Amino acid sequence: MSAGAGARTALVTGGLGGIGRATCERLADDGFQVIAADLAPDAARLAAFRAATGDRAIGFEAVDVGDPEACAALAARLQARGVAVDVLVNAAGITRDVTLRKMDPAQWREVMQVNLDGVFHLCRLFVGGMCDRGHGRIVNLSSIVGQTGAFGQSNYAAAKAGLHGFTMALAREVAARGVTVNSISPGYVDTPMTQAIPDAVRERIVAGIPAGRIGQPADIARAVAFLCADEAGYLTGVNLPVNGGLFMAG
């Protein structure tokens, strides 16, 4: 799948994480100039990221997506370098799992600030340029939890469900300007979070997935790349489930 005309630039938040890094690699392989954005890592983590991504055209920018001033500073740095963001992939996310009765306001706010407010901050900063140029792709990483709920994740489920509502509204606003806005809802994916699940629990999870396996970050990255392609210009406001059949809806 080709990036299309010229070398377009993709900004991927949460770019050092499992799904984020796989997305950066896939988009770079598809011809995009890629900027991975994440919280400022320690030197060892950043070195590991660069070793894993090899000689692909992937740069790195530090940003806290939950901080509107940090997001504005990132946009200013890119503008000063003459970088126009053609593709925005909002993959940054956190969890603060606890039942609602035990959840404190900070655990609610932290999840909302990163998983939902961060998408607002970055879309607001970059969608105008996409509209002006007549082309853009925004992909927001939601979750199966936003469709089904999950025990101890009322904050995360609310943020991820809200994310697709945001996606549909923005899609309507910018469709006529050549900009698509879509979301992807992964199921269980083989990341450090799921690797920490006890083996017995993982076995029960896999037994409930029709595809018979937990997803790989590359499975999600392929879906992102599909929605970012020039050829996907007639797909907008879509929530694409990538969950091995764990949740199906008509």
Positive or negative: CA dihedral 108, 124, 72, 134:
positive
How confident is the model at residue 245, as a pLDDT?
Answer: 95
DSSP the chain: ----SS--EEEEETTTSHHHHHHHHHHHHTT-EEEEEESPPPHHHHHHHHHHHTTSSEEEEE--TT-HHHHHHHHHHHHHTT----EEEE---------GGG--HHHHHHHHIIIIIHHHHHHHHHHHHHHHHT-EEEEEE--THHHH--TT-HHHHHHHHHHHHHHHHHHHHHGGGTEEEEEEEE-SBSSHHHHTS-HHHHHHHHHT-TTSS-B-HHHHHHHHHHHHSGGGTT--S-EEEESTTSS---
pLDDT value of position 193? 76
Burial class (CB in 10 A: 0-12, 13-18, 19+), 238: middle
pLDDT digit of tens for each residue in the chain (250 aa)? Answer: 344 446 899 999 999 999 999 999 999 999 999 999 999 999 999 999 999 898 899 999 999 999 999 999 999 999 999 999 999 999 999 999 999 999 999 999 999 999 999 999 999 999 999 999 999 999 999 999 999 999 999 999 999 999 999 999 999 999 999 999 999 999 999 988 788 888 898 899 999 999 999 999 999 999 999 999 999 999 999 999 999 999 998 7
| The predicted structure's pLDDT at residue 2 | 43
Q: What is the pLDDT of residue 128?
A: 98
pLDDT of residue 7: 85
In this structure, are residues 90 and 66 in contact, taking their beta carbons and an 8 Å threshold? Answer: no
This prediction has a pTM of 0.94
Domain at 9-241, CATH homologous superfamily: NAD(P)-binding Rossmann-like Domain (3.40.50.720)
Catalytic residue among 156, 214, 220, 228: 156
Active site residue 234: no
- Residue 22's DSSP bridge partners are none
Domain ranges of the chain: 9-241
Looking at residue 195, what is its pLDDT? 85
Q: What is the pLDDT of residue 6?
A: 60
- Residue in the block written with tokens 């039942």: 99
